[in-house]
Amino acid sequence: MYQLCAMNGHYRFYELVVFFEEIQKAGFVNAELWTSPHHFFVDYQQYEDPVKLRQLAESHQVKIRCICPEQTNPKPNNVAVKGKNARERVYAYYRNIIDAAKAAGADKVLITPGWAYYSEPVEEATKRSVEMLSRVSEYAAQNQMLLVMEALQPDESKIANTAAELKALKQLVGNDSLKICLDLGAMARMGESIDDYFNVFEKDVIHCHFVDGAPVGHLAWGDGKRSMKEDLEAFSRNGYEGLLSLESVNDRYYEEPYLADRKTMELFMKNQGEKGI
């Protein structure tokens, strides 16, 4: 229960307070907040008062550990966006995200490499991605915040889909505030494994989007074909000490999202008891 981290993505048709009520009932003590506009509004000009988040979290005995901004197409906050004005808006957006995360008590912000336009060479978008990641990483470092970058799937972006491509980006940025989020859905899509990621990044893997799949996807555990037991053993074998965040983003969960969280918690506690993980 201490390593699992609830997410609010599949609570998108509920008020944010319901998310906190339900994860408290299920036994969660950590949360990663996706910045859905009707849950917590952020854009490049403004953001809601983070006191709202602190109060909700504290009143339900939950700590907000990570902020996951909206940033994938068609959202406007593309790290690799073209155009001077658009790039300044995206940079301002991430500054606001970092400021809000810090005020809410989180210590991590999730970021992606962004996506390339199909009408250009992917190498051009990669250059813009590195430039923006460098700027945002520097601002994060100034504010004692860590960025956790995850790979995207090929239908989301062509910039970085594999662990090796993600490492190349990270090396070009060269800022210690930029770490890695292992998204099991993106990992499985590329035929990679948990061990592959740790072989590439070692201790720089500090966050995980912990999802089941068939073999890919963002399903609650038990709804796909992955073995939680084997995955937990892989994390333990590699000395992972970060959170396992439940990004159960699928419309099958929207009406009763709490059922997915309860099922995952029950399965996690069963495996934890059996393996002592």
What sign results for the dihedral spanned by CA atoms 238, 242, 244, 247? negative
> Do residues 139 and 95 touch, judged by C-beta distance below 8 A?
yes
* Ordered mean pLDDT values, 10 residues apiece, the chain (277 residues): 90 98 97 96 97 96 97 93 97 98 97 97 98 98 98 95 98 98 95 97 97 84 94 95 94 96 94 58
pTM, entire model: 0.95
pLDDT of 246 reads 97
Q: 184 CB contacts (<8 Å, ≥6 apart)?
A: 194, 208, 209, 210, 211, 212, 213, 226, 231
In the chain, the amino acid numbered 54 is: R
pLDDT of amino acid 261: 96
Which pLDDT belongs to residue 274? 53
* Burial category of 122 from C-beta neighbours within 10 Å (exposed 0-12, middle 13-18, buried 19 and up): middle
Number of Cβ within 10 Å of residue 68's Cβ equals: 28
